[in-house]
Structures are given as C-alpha cells and as structure tokens.
Structure 1
Amino acid sequence: MKSTFADEIVDLLPNLRRYAFVLSRSLDVADDLVQQTCEKAFASRSSYAQGTNLSAWLIRIMRNTWIDRVRRDRTRGESVDIVDRPDAIFTDGAHDTETHLMLGNVASALQELPADQREIIMMICVEELSYKEAAAALGIPIGTVMSRLARARTTLAGKLDLN
C-alpha cells in the first residue's frame, strides 16, 4: 500500500512536536509551530522532491518558521498572556464612550446654571465640602446652601433629561 503525502506527515508529527518543543520550550507554542509547519508543507508540497527525506524538509520549514517568529516577536516587544496578568484592566468601549458623552453633557449643563447654583454644586459634589463648610466658605446659612443645591440638582436633571 502506497502512503500519501498526508500520511507521511502524520507519521512524523510526534518527531515534529518534540523538535518544536526543543525550539520553543513551551507546549502551546510548540503545537502552534507544528500546525504552522504542516500548513506551510501542504501549501508548498509541489516544491517537495518525492523520494527525498520528508523529515528533513519539514524540520527545515519548522526551523525557518521559528526564526521568523523570533524575529517578529523581537520587533513586536514583550508579549504577555492575559492569563498571566490577572491585574489587567478590562474596559468596555461602549460604556466608556457613553460615560464620556454624559460627562460632556453634564459639563455643558453646569455652565448654563446660574453662578450661585454652579458654585454650590462644585463645592458639594466636586470638592466634597460638607454643607457646613460650604456655608462657612460662602458666608451664608446652611439652609440657603441646601435650597441652592436642591434647585441646582433639579435644574441639572431637567437639562439632562433625568426627570
């Protein structure tokens, strides 16, 4: 029974995997390297001279693939698997965009408030002063701070359609 090109490659897979592991020192990378080698071998099987050493041809393809990968990785910089970085921060692009737009709308609405209301909002909500501290800073009663803040919040909610 005559073996096909594919059968011969399948028979050499354990040898290829061992060599790939020697090159990469990583089972995952070795498996990727074997797969890339097989893909390239099938894509260029017309250049394989029948009767020559298939194992040597495949190893040469693998070695060249590995060298290309090392060169590419060297210019790309360090690559870190996400599994190795549990502290990596994930962002939701849609949420970030929505937040950015909302903050822009709030900033515009704040600018439209009367100066006394804008001042109270900034002191209480941004600077995080207590009502007592804001009243002392402005020289007004705490009740006035509370009523201006309530009017400012109501006006902002109306401008931002949050009612």
Structure 2
Amino acid sequence: MAHITKTPCIEDAWQAHHQELRGFLLKYCGDRDAADELLQRVYAKALADRATFCQLATPKAWLFKVAKHQWIDEKRRTKTWVDADDLDLPAEPPSHSAIDSLADCIANALPYCPPEDADILYACDLNGVKQADYAYLNGLTLPATKARLRRARIRLRERLIEQCQIIFDEQGRVCCHRGLANAT
C-alpha cells in the first residue's frame, strides 16, 4: 500500500475549512453520507495536487471550487436516464398550470444559454447561492458577479420571450405566455 505523506499546507487549510466545506456540501447534497464522500474526494484532490495547492494564495477558494465541481460531477454521474420507449405515456399530455409551464419553459431554456449564464442562473436564482458566495467561489468581485447575473437574466428573458412567447405587463411582470414552444 502506498504511503501518502501529509503536507502541512494542506493539513492547515483542511483544519481551517473542512467543517465549512462539509456544511456547504451538506446544503447541496441534503445527505450526510454523500456530503462526507464528496468531502473525501476534495481532500484527495488537494493531496493529488499538493505541489500547486501549496502555492495557492487562497486555498479556501480552491477547496470550495473543487467541492462545487465534485458535487456537479456527482449529479451528472447519478443522473438516471429513461428510454422514452419504455415509458407508458398518456396520449394527451397532462395539463399544467401557467406557473408550472413557465417553470418548464425556464428549465428548457437554460440549456440553450451560454454555459457561464446557465451556471450563475442555476447557482444564484435556482439554488439560492448568495451572490457574494458565488463571487468568492468563482474568483470574481461582487460587482462583477452582479453584472454577470444581470446580463444572464437579460439573455434568459430574451430567450423566454422567443421560446415561450412570454408577454409582460407595464410593470415588467409576466402577464401571460403560451407555454413551451419549440426550442431553437
């Protein structure tokens, strides 16, 4: 069995931040075992990258970024795919409320957004990550994050207008829409 030498810079950073990292992962996973598994992967990555890790100016930001990516990778790995031919679908699609179909439209529009737009929209608007936390985790300033989120929301709004034929009232609120149109 190979022996891994502990590196003081990693041990110090880990002792300072592992509880906060665990809380971060637990918030996203909702499961202690899954959060602990991801936490172990983050530690292993730090050990594997020890030469560059010890040169980092902000090891905490690196740890949180790796934790976020480990969580995203796990979500991608555990995604279950179902063959549509195996499903017993009704002839008529079920009717949705206007809000449900708008939520469906947003979910269908996000994959067509540029990746950086989808990332910040998923994190801040759909998953409730604070803009300051997003900025910190992605090496951005808070003003840059706010500007990026504003631009992403504008592009998503344009996409929704086109894709779902959304109409806004005088105050800029959604008044009505035609649900899911074909994605382009």
TM-score by length of 1: 0.42
Bigger radius of gyration, 1 or 2? Answer: 1
Query: Which structure would you say has the larger RCO, counting Cα contacts within 8 Å and 6 or more residues apart?
Result: 2
TM-score by length of 2: 0.37
Structure with more of its chain in helix, by fraction: 1
